[in-house]
Amino acid sequence: MSDSEFRPIIGLTTYLQQAQTGVWDVRASFLPAIYFEGVELAGGIATLLPPQPVDGDVADRLLDVLDALIITGGPDVLPDNYGQEFHPATNKETPDHRTRDAFELALVHGALRRGLPLLGICRGAQVLNVALGGTLHQHLPDVIGHARHQLGNAVFSTSTVRTEPGSRLASLIGETTEVQCYHHQALDQLGADLVVCARDDEGVIEAVEIPGDNFVLGVQWHPEERLDDLRLFAAVVEAGRNYAKATSMKGKVDA
């Protein structure tokens, strides 16, 4: 099999909350199909990672079998994770919400330690920032005076983002692009090593990355809502392919 035919395993985190399907109304782990369809269309193998307690080496055992990691969208990161009190507009805490936060923060820390390619989507970008010591604006309308980034009722808004010249993101999507947004929170103080690589026309941070060889990128928008544009999914799949190859070569040398 050629390198281009190798399909890396991409882990995607999921929701954990009460959900209805047919006659059932139960606690469930789930993820909209468009996320893993993006991975599959880009040449990866998608596997879902349900939130669970991360005592001991749970996160590392999971990361051992992945070639890349995507932290997906979802509810607000609980503010005590970054040293703030709850804003009235912030999602309230539930045990499942707490479990998801802890699970994803542990996965991010583990991925960064081992150089595993990482893409954060919307909430995922915020989890990345918080994991590295950053903070969030808990309610963006308080900062910019409007709610156009999250219109409500599952209606995505379209924003224009402009990338930073020389950034990894600029090399992937160019100088500017139209994106689908649904967020009432945003990055405030940046976590360690992160740099801004895209903003919207009002200066809101829309993407961050860690410069260097390892693929670490967080975007505030939802690329899965535009599967006619697979550039970000293709990038994380390719990074996973390269990671798997490098890990395989290292294993052969160590043996």
Rounded CA separation 200/198 (Å): 7
User: In 3D, which of 49, 37, 46, 34 has the Cα closest to residue 7?
Assistant: 46
Question: What tokens does 190 get?
Answer: 């940046």
With beta carbons less than 8 A apart as the criterion, state whether 36 and 116 touch: no
Task: Name the residues annotated as catalytic.
Answer: 122, 222, 224
Question: How does DSSP classify residue 182?
Answer: -
CA-to-CA separations, 98 to 79, 102, 107, 130, in angstroms, rounded: 11, 6, 14, 14
Q: Report strand pairing: 118-121 vs 24-30.
A: unpaired
Q: Other C-beta atoms within 10 Å of 142: how many?
A: 11
Question: What tokens does 143 get?
Answer: 């900062």
Rounded CA separation 41/51 (Å): 25
Question: What tokens does 89 get?
Answer: 């507009």
Per DSSP, the three-state class of 53 is coil
Amino acid at 254: D
